[in-house]
Amino acid sequence: MCGIVGYVGEKLATDVILEGLQKLEYRGYDSSGVAILGSGKLKFRKIAGRLSNLISSVEENPVEGTIGIGHTRWATHGAPSDVNAHPHTNEDGTIAVVHNGIIENYMTLKNELIEKGYNFESDTDTEIVAKLLDMYYEGDLLQAVFKMVKRLKGAYALGIVSSNNPDELIAVRKESPLILGVGDDELFVASDIPAILNRTRKVIYLENNDIVKLTREGYTIYNVDRNVVEREVKEILWDVEAATKEGYDHFMIKEINQQSSVIKDTLFRRLDDKGNIYLENVNIDSKYLTTINKIYIVACGTAYHAGLIGKHILEKFLNLHVIIDIASEFRYGNNFVDDKTLMIVVSQSGETADTLAALRLAKSKGARILSITNVVGSTVARESDDIFYTWAGPEIAVASTKAYTTQLTAFYMISLYFGKLKGTLGDEIYNEILSELKSLPAKVKAAIEESEKVAREIAEKIKNKRSLFYIGRGLDYYTAMEGALKLKEISYIQAEAFAAGELKHGSIALIEKDTPVIAIATQRDLYEKTVSNIKEVKARGAYTIGITRVSNKDLENVCDSVIYLDETYDIFMPLLSVISPQLLAYYAAVERGNDVDKPRNLAKSVTVE
């Protein structure tokens, strides 16, 4: 879960690389470094802490050259420190490596190298890559890389330079994201598009086991068998401003406010001339839907919460059994996947290691894979049979907001589309539900506007609390889970979600005077029961905040504060009710002085298991 930037051209490589790393700091921010080739020499600078430390160091003591690699780290092996920061080198400092991912067999390789006389300075798995390259190097860096990758197990992206081959940069991709940028007389490699978007819009999505050699004359891509392969150059159509804050204090609040427009994009760009849903990258027909006996949903974290709601909607519209599992647990339990299973995998980045592992296991058992992801060309997308891109645009803040609501939108659209195909949804009901779905972008915008002031006020009241509880029933419970996760992620307030009906079975013991309890009460059939549960915690001294639909004005008689939402169908309320918890988490983090976009111990793209 680190960021890589590499450059080959005529400009000062350090400037280009540091600019790119600033766009990737959401991927890792506990240390950073650069290795630059200039005048036939390899020069290094690496330092623990935020990227600003490295920038200051380079400003005080410039590192000049026109070819180089850079890295921003999120620690997996070894604590954040100058020594563990990338790049890592061989012992004479002639080869430098930056790395994203994990080398699973690094201890075996490290012991082998130690027996051969190699010494190690860091606690990282990356250092063995530099030492292996040194062992295999015989004057040709590319040939050493070919030999080295045959020894590695795991998921990794690598950037490699050597002073003995001062005119080239080698990059390797296996299971970890890496792109190649093609500019005018300059080339780039990077972990994600925002790193190079100011420099070029021409991008190649490197594929698994691609090895690319970059020189000032151009690039050549090889597979592990050393054969030259061709990859399509694609034009990136994003506005450059899509990867900046656009005047907002943080990326997270910008992305919360974008939700209305990105939900609209995700929905309306998939409607045909008659206004019906058309999923061009989903090649599933009515015959296939009659042959499957179950659907699996597999995801992690926020995407898992979207999957919980997706399970409810799919079962309702398809009259079919849906099983949901946490991706990190999927391979280690008794799963019932076969060739009559449709698996839906959900991953914002499309690179989530646990989700990819589950995908591959299911595929090996004959399941068909439908992915919901935000990143075009990601590994999840490439390895799936069918793809639903959420079109949320780049999400920079670590805590997911717009990716989540577009994932919900994806589940609504897929469920409607499949229900109509299968015939379990009649035309009249389909048209009625789709019409309401089309109204939701405007209602999300209203929810943001209506929730903002109250969320600020509540954040002020809870900022010094040790703990907070969310409660809800049915679909509201799943939103409560997402709300609690958001608060934990960025405010660091201990937050837990409880099924409201389960309070009396033990968890109500945690309620004491002034304990904040946020009750989500939007489901009509469960509303009265939820009100009774709110009264239970209120009787124990809780400070209660209600989130409900605008018709439930009586909630003011029960709660200390209420946030009201527009009316919509019960199944669509999760799209509206999650807005207030997002804003509350954001403003609580701001009040506590936290780094909102880069919460401690977390990274955006989870490429390790």
Tell me the whole-structure pTM to 2 decimals: 0.73
pLDDT at 26: 65
118-to-98, 104, 128, 139 alpha-carbon distances in Å? 19, 19, 10, 19
CATH of the domain at 486: 3.40.50.10490
Q: Specify whether 473 is located in the same domain as 516.
A: yes
Contact 45, 57 (CB under 8 A): yes
**Domain of 495, in residue numbers:** 445-591
What does the DSSP assignment read for 268-287? HTTB-TTS-B--TT----HH
pLDDT at 243: 58
- The predicted-structure confidence for 312-342, as pLDDT tens digits, reads as follows 999 999 999 999 999 989 888 878 899 999 9
One-letter amino acid for residue 72 of the chain:
T
- The predicted-structure confidence for 242-288, as pLDDT tens digits, reads as follows 556 777 899 999 999 999 999 998 998 888 888 999 998 899 999 99
Q: Specify whether 279 is located in the same domain as 136.
A: no
pLDDT at 1: 56
pLDDT at 604: 61
Q: Specify whether 204 is located in the same domain as 280.
A: no
* Active-site choice (2, 46, 402, 559): 2
Q: Specify whether 356 is located in the same domain as 450.
A: no
- In angstroms, rounded to a whole number, what is the distance separating the alpha carbons of residues 400 and 307? 14
CATH of the domain at 146: 3.60.20.10
Structural element, H or E, at residue 434: helix 427-438
| % of the chain residues with pLDDT over 70 | 97
* Active-site choice (23, 43, 402, 604): 604
What does the DSSP assignment read for 402-430? HHHHHHHHHHHHHHHHHHHHHTSS-HHHH
pLDDT at 424: 96
pLDDT at 290: 93
The structural domain count of the chain equals 3
- In angstroms, rounded to a whole number, what is the distance separating the alpha carbons of residues 535 and 72? 49
In a domain, 257, yes or no: yes
In a domain, 374, yes or no: yes
Q: Specify whether 545 is located in the same domain as 421.
A: no
Confirm whether 559 is a catalytic residue. no
Q: Specify whether 208 is located in the same domain as 108.
A: yes
pLDDT at 74: 73
**Environment class of residue 278 by beta-carbon count within 10 Å: exposed (0-12), middle (13-18) or buried (19+)?**
middle
Q: Specify whether 277 is located in the same domain as 344.
A: yes
Confirm whether 2 is a catalytic residue. yes
pLDDT at 441: 96
In a domain, 82, yes or no: yes
What residues in the chain have per-residue pLDDT under 50? Answer: 608
Q: Specify whether 492 is located in the same domain as 417.
A: no
Q: Specify whether 133 is located in the same domain as 35.
A: yes
In a domain, 606, yes or no: no
C-alpha closest to that of 158 among 103, 80, 92 = 103
pLDDT at 350: 87
- In angstroms, rounded to a whole number, what is the distance separating the alpha carbons of residues 45 and 18? 12
Q: Specify whether 423 is located in the same domain as 508.
A: no
